[in-house]
Amino acid sequence: MPLFLKSIIFLLLVFLIGCERKDLGLNRYIKKETYSKNQRARSVKFFSRITRVKIEPGDTVYSIARRHGTTIRDLILKNGLIAPYKILVGQTLVIPIPERHIVATGDTVFALSNKYRVDMRTLVELNSLKPPYQLKKGQVLKIPNSSNREEGGPKRNIRNVLTARSDIVFSPFPRPKPVSNPRRERTRVHHQNRPISKPLDRGGKYFLWPVRGTVISRFGPRRGGLHNDGINIAAPRGAPVFAAENGVVAYTGNGIKGFGNLLLVKHSGGWTTAYAHVDRVLVKRGDRVKRGETIGTIGTSGKVSKPQLHFEIRKGSQAVDPMKELAT
């Protein structure tokens, strides 16, 4: 082979080998950089959800939650704290960091509470929103990083109670104190979880008014994207609250934030009535009540500004306008 051709072939091979090495080097760099970005993304996603802090003198559950922009409830659930929720200097707590939502056109507090399965009042308080709770496009909202929401648990509201098998709402505020007789305590808990009896037939076509007073808030949408699932009736403190129909008490307690002392009474035909902000509760779960029977008294539990009753009527778990179902 002529020397001229050998020289050309040699130079061509050197050029190709050089290009191949450059490509391999670039490919290694790209793969490494892509992997690094993916690693950082996973790390940011993980560490943006929780952080850890060491308790300093003067710290409380409330002050830590406020300082880190999370809710007291999430802080208690994440760390398995037990009432009265005392923390010790030097103790390490896991802090659930709220997610962020950038408000888009059409977003409302009500819509976001449904989207993220969080209570509207919690969303309002965490973001220090003021009435009428109007949201601005581009506004950044904190979304509670609830353990139960992360695990797919349902939002704790009246609808949730009515669809729960046990008819009992979970509430960590407060947990029951230990008892000296475990056998007796097990018996009591078992009784609380027993199915309730079948309610009596209704006594009339329409429900009775649960209290004598003035309607101050009606059913339906409210300003700022909120929604009232019932009506609010103002009445003097201590005024009697009546059962709107024959039924069985399905729930009594204060496990749903914002409702204070709450009673749920199940009626025949798949109906349920709810009575919130009650002061004294005069019945217990499983009690049969008759139409017009006194079941509690008017109060201000649940942080309402004046004595009133929040009253709901539901068919199944769906809220309906009480004004259409109450006797005139």
Whether residue 246 sits in one domain with residue 115: no
Whether residue 247 sits in one domain with residue 211: yes
Whether residue 284 sits in one domain with residue 198: yes
State which of 155, 170, 194 marks the end of a domain: 155
| 3-class SS of residue 91 | coil
Whether residue 307 sits in one domain with residue 201: yes
Whether residue 282 sits in one domain with residue 150: no
State which of 112, 137, 155 marks the end of a domain: 155
Give residue 215's pLDDT: 95
Please tell me the total number of residues recorded for the chain in this structure.
328
| Domains identified in the chain, total number | 2
**pLDDT tens across 20-54, in order?**
444 433 333 333 333 333 333 332 333 346 788 89
Does 7 reside within a domain? no
Does 55 reside within a domain? no
Span 133-161, mean pLDDT?
67
Whether residue 122 sits in one domain with residue 251: no
Range of the domain at 295: 182-324
Span 248-275, mean pLDDT?
91
Does 196 reside within a domain? yes
Does 296 reside within a domain? yes
CATH number where 106 lies = 3.10.350.10
**pLDDT tens across 169-214, in order?**
333 333 334 444 544 434 343 344 557 788 889 999 999 999 999 9
Confidence of residue 242 (pLDDT cuts 50, 70, 90): very high
Does 160 reside within a domain? no
Q: What is the per-residue DSSP string for 156-184?
A: -SHHHHHHSSS------SSPPPP-S-HHH
Q: What is the spatial distance between Cα 86 and Cα 82, in angstroms, rounded to a whole number? A: 8
Closest CA to 127 of 155, 100, 153: 100
Whether residue 248 sits in one domain with residue 294: yes
Q: What are the backbone angles phi and psi of residue 250, rounded to the nearest 5°?
A: -95, -25
Q: What is the spatial distance between Cα 137 and Cα 135, in angstroms, rounded to a whole number? A: 7
pTM: 0.51
